[in-house]
Amino acid sequence: MATASVLNGDGSALPIRVSEFGKSYGKVVAVREASLDVVKGEMYGLIGPDGAGKSTLMKSIAGVLAYDAGSIEVFGQKVDSEESAELIKSRIGLMPQGLGLNLSPDLSIEENIDYFARVRLVPPSELEARKDRFLKMTRLDSFRNRPMKNLSGGMKQKLGLICSLIHLPELIILDEPTTGVDPVSRRDFWAILSELSRAEGMTALISTAYMEEALRFDRVSLMHEGRFLASGTPEELVGLVPGTMVELRCPNQIEALGVLREYYAQVEPRGEWVRLLADTADRDKAKSEAISFLPPDLQPTEVRTWDPDLEDVFIALLRQREQTEGEATSAAGTVETYAALPEEQMERTAIEAMELTRIFGSFTAVDHVTFQVKQGEIFGLLGANGAGKSTCIKMLTGILPPSSGEGQVSGADMRFAGQEIKERIGYVSQAFSLYIDLTVLENIMLYAGIYGVPKDLRPERAEWVLNVAGLSGRGDAKVASLPMGLRQRLSLGCALVHQPSTLFLDEPTSGVDPVGRRQFWDILYRLSRVHNVAILFTTHYMSEAESCDHIVLMFAGRVVADAPPESLEDNIENQVGHLLEFRTSDPPNALGLVTSIFPEALAYGSRIRLISSDPTGDEQRIREILTEHGIQVLSVTPKPISMEEVFVHTVTSLERESEKAKGAA
């Protein structure tokens, strides 16, 4: 057995050591010159979009994919053949990308776990206690007999995690386990992994496309197009791009965006704000400089500043690489020639749901839902997996008839004018909806025909869509050859080919890289602010939720919150308390002590976060208990309440109420 030249602190071989790894699929280079070391008990993250090479690297580390260059060692064993891979498989767990792909759909939750336990040779004497522990941790213990095929996306992923962990592997490899999963289920994931890392010393290699999850890792590598952009702790990576984030609330957001883009490379709209990265760490200087570039009629009414986050760093590093290597990210085009709305439509309600209800057998998927979307508004429809969001959209777009209730879309009654509604709206579904074997132009012309664009207008509209998607000159490219970000912009362009006044977008950016998401949102803001298009948007990216003008949060088919994002965040802070972040000298043991008095506290890499109703008193309590155990509190930092805290607090509170009601019954 080969011994790694770098060891853990106890002298044992590293769980993972990768040197100059390379893998190609024909002429396509998937990963090149990748190197990383992962130490025992560490949670290591691979962060990047679809197509970055994360899955290829992880499969090779797990011994299920051959590679072309470099070397991989797992627990000191060189993994370069089927025989060598067999020597490490009992010590690892692998969860592939995709909702429930490692599970049997017709088996129940408990039957799936039992099957994996037998395959992994878990002693029957240990299985029941271990199974009960994991089911309780994942909050699946009440659903033991439910077939896997009837689970929500989040429940499928949590079951997949249990099945991958049931033999208590020393190393767990999880490929985008939280993509498409709601924030509550994502937090469950991280709580489980933090507990096992602390209690069992388990090592984890995890990939994700959610940049906000990077803070939960001990160390991360940022990947793009098969290469590592940078590696290190989250704090080290943020330090690579010294600067200040500045947000300005201006009288005309779109005009302010245009002006500031002449002076800054990273500028984006965020809700009612314009957000930019200034290249100085001096906050006062960054603030005054940004204000000075705006003419008198665009002077901001409010300005705020803070440090860059990892998503800002990722984009800055990509920009730096483009400058040094001459590469260019395909930019989105404009929507300037969009058809003007008739005057009578400008002030109307674009979408109205009135007591909408949909029942499937004995199950109520949507329960008397009421909300309104104004023309020109970006409206976020949020909820956990299975909350009823997609069912609502299908009823409003005429795809699914309601059991009861009414709805108006673009002036048409959804119950009787299905075809009329389809001609007036654009729709991008949760699943990628283009034909990957057709060319870009063939897809556009197909959708132009479906949406009834007159034949003489189709060539002009096709050129317009190519420009919007940033695909001018690439009409003959097969859709299968496009990266995810470009595919989703093309999907949006096809949904806009008939220039509708209302747009439905069901999780359109899942798995898209930060650059692609920001370019996608650039188009949405211009459609909304300049052309008065109403946009109903669902997402599990809470940063996108904060970009909406208005939010409706659904739980168990019902509307449980209805307000602008900032109002929802203020309400949670007023009702529940303030978010505190603790940095300590011994993060794993500190977490166990803090959760003994604050059960909902969570690890964010080397830091601990919790919501406190008494920040001063709670800080003192935590300092006292940690000091008693020889752990030093290095810093305590207040953090703003975000939409993630709003979502998680609201949904978990309602779940607890629901469980109490069931118990009382």
Residue 199: per-residue pLDDT? 77
Instruction: Assess contact for 622 and 527: CB atoms under 8 A.
Output: no
- E strand or H helix at 645, and its extent? helix 643-664
Positions in the chain short of pLDDT 70: 1-11, 99-100, 323-347, 417-418, 430-432, 484-485, 511, 663-665
The vertex-384 CA angle with 381 and 390, nearest 5°, equals 50
Residue 2: per-residue pLDDT? 39
Instruction: Assess contact for 439 and 476: CB atoms under 8 A.
Output: yes
Question: Which CATH code fits 242-307?
Answer: 3.30.70
Three-class SS state of 309: coil
Question: Which CATH code fits 16-235?
Answer: 3.40.50.300
Nearest to 332 by CA among 511, 550, 485: 485
Handedness of CA 540, 541, 546, 548 (dihedral sign): negative
Instruction: Assess contact for 350 and 361: CB atoms under 8 A.
Output: no
Residue 23 has a CB neighbour count (10 Å cut-off) of 22
Nearest to 114 by CA among 133, 125, 128: 128
Instruction: Assess contact for 247 and 274: CB atoms under 8 A.
Output: yes
Residue 333: per-residue pLDDT? 55
Q: CA 381, CA 392: separation in Å to the nearest integer? A: 9
What residues have CB less than 8 Å from 356, skipping those under 6 apart? 366, 368, 369, 370, 392, 395, 396, 402, 404, 405, 406, 407
Burial 625-662 (b: 16+ CB within 10 A, else e): ebeeeebebeebeeeebbbbbbbbbbbbebeeeeeeee
**Same fold? 242-307, 568-664:** yes
Nearest to 178 by CA among 196, 192, 166: 192
Q: Which residue spans within 439-549 are E strands per DSSP?
A: 502-506, 534-538
Q: Is domain 568-664 given the CATH code 3.30.70 in the classification?
A: yes
The vertex-381 CA angle with 377 and 386, nearest 5°, equals 165
Question: Which CATH code fits 343-564?
Answer: 3.40.50.300
Three-class SS state of 75: coil
Nearest to 353 by CA among 322, 305, 388, 309: 388
> How many distinct helices (H) and strands (E) make up the chain?
21, 28
Residue 1: per-residue pLDDT? 35
Nearest to 607 by CA among 233, 176, 174: 233
Residue 3: per-residue pLDDT? 38
Instruction: Assess contact for 640 and 568: CB atoms under 8 A.
Output: no
Q: CA 582, CA 314: separation in Å to the nearest integer? A: 25
- E strand or H helix at 621, and its extent? helix 615-628
Instruction: Assess contact for 531 and 338: CB atoms under 8 A.
Output: yes
pTM of the full predicted structure? 0.83
Residue 263: per-residue pLDDT? 95
Residue 507 identity (one-letter amino acid): E
- Would you give the end-to-end CA distance of the chain in angstroms? 60
